[in-house]
Structure 1
Amino acid sequence: MSDFETVFSPIVFLDLALLTMLFLVAIAMLRSRHLFGVVMLSGIYSLLSAAFFVSLDAVDVAFTEAAVGAGISTVLMLSGMLLTVRREKPKTPGRAPVAMLAVLATGAALIYATIDMPAFGDPNAPANSAIGQQYVERTASEIPMPNIVTAVLASYRGFDTMGETMVIFTAGVAVMLLLGVGSARGGRRVSDIDAKETSDEGKGE
């Protein structure tokens, strides 16, 4: 396959389309002040991310993103909305520039840190020259899986994956306890009307 065919292959167009949709959904989340809409857009973002991972042949990561990002996280955020108002509070003047400076400084630091990273696909990189090379050489003969990443996570690092699953489960239980699910106070919703009345009373004082 020539370089021209590689650049203009259907997979490349699919990846570009998914990345474009991810960008548009992220912008919509930033501009929305309706919390329910933000939660739904967050679920859509996770599903698009899962589709992008499938396009990269990382099916295991896509499954995790779809289950945790679009599934469990969406349910937990919807449960959290029962204890708060539906719309975001008005912005506090003067905080936006400080937040923007913090984001730009963090982004610049992360970009600067990538300078010392090895080139993408470098066979002499530490990740590829040691244990990674053994995974590549032995996976085909030891584990009947076409995807090396899936084989590593499900077999070679099976206990590590099980530990990560336990961490996610524990985090979910902790969030449910914080939300008061099943308790006497669980499910009490702060209505938008009560919040508006409280805000009006504060302005009157």
Structure 2
Amino acid sequence: MMELALTIFLFLALVATAIMIALMRSLFATVMLSGVFSLLSAVLFVVMDAVDVAFTEAAVGGGISTVLMLGTIALTARHEKEPTSFSVLPLAVVLLTGAALIYGTLDMPNFGAPDAPVQLHVGPDYLARTPDDIDVPNIVTAVLASYRGYDTLGETTVVFTAGLGVILLIGGVGRRRNRRKDQDS
């Protein structure tokens, strides 16, 4: 019961944060709220026992993306330009996409339901085959490193590339500031 209450609270916090992001005109506040949204998502993933996804979300969404967006703001404007007119088409596309996503989830089994396909086919298969196929005692490690090896490699590549981008961005911003100081002198 406590886990359900926490999940509902996190979803409500995500919705509230998304609404605040949509209403903001300050790009700095938008970036900070985006970081909060990513960290709330990471906490939700932890509650749902998806710690590997939570770690990636916290590192890339909450950490590196926030730093990259702050670097972009440092090189551009701090506030969004006022919209010249209101267009109904983007709102209609978002509402239609949201309705389609909700409709697509209506027949999904409840989270952790014992009769869900993953509990009946995939999970027992991994548990039965892993000791013979891979000979690794930890099933989670075996699945992440072997059966999902390409996926894990992709996640690692994304985190590495994002980190490299931050290093290059920080180096570029530092050099630009030094050039501006030299020109001002």
In which range does the TM-score fall when normalised by the shorter chain? Answer: 0.7 to 0.9
Structure 2 CA distance, aligned partners of 1:124 and 1:18?
A: 24
Query: Partner letter of residue 102 of structure 1?
Result: V
1:143 corresponds to 2:134: no
Q: TM-score, normalised by structure 2?
A: 0.73
Cα deviation, 1:30-68, whole Å, max 9, x if unaligned, reads 111111111111111111111111111221111111111
Aligned residues: 173
Structure 2 CA distance, aligned partners of 1:155 and 1:105?
A: 39
Q: Is the 8 A contact 1:35 1:87 kept in 2?
A: yes
- Counterpart for residue 37 of structure 2: 45
Q: Which runs of 5+ in 1 are unaligned?
A: 1-8, 189-205
Report the Cα offset of residue 25 of structure 1: 1.3
1:35 corresponds to 2:27: yes
Q: 1:46 to 1:94 in 2, by over 3 A?
A: closer
Cα deviation, 1:98-122, whole Å, max 9, x if unaligned, reads 111111222233344446x654447
Q: Is the 8 A contact 1:53 1:61 kept in 2?
A: yes
Taking the TM superposition and a 5 Å limit, the aligned residue runs for 1:72-91 are 72-91=64-83
- Counterpart for residue 193 of structure 1: none
Q: 1:162 aligns with which of 153, 162, 183?
A: 153
Q: TM-score, normalised by structure 1?
A: 0.67
Which structure: greater helix fraction? 2
- Counterpart for residue 183 of structure 2: none
Report the Cα offset of residue 186 of structure 1: 5.0
% identity of equivalent residues: 49
Q: 1:46 to 1:151 in 2, by over 3 A?
A: farther
Cα deviation, 1:73-92, whole Å, max 9, x if unaligned, reads 11111011112111111113
Structure of greater Rg: 1
Q: 1:164 to 1:64 in 2, by over 3 A?
A: closer
Taking the TM superposition and a 5 Å limit, the aligned residue runs for 1:120-139 are 120=110, 121=113, 123=115, 125=117, 130-138=121-129
The Cα RMSD (Å) is 3.4
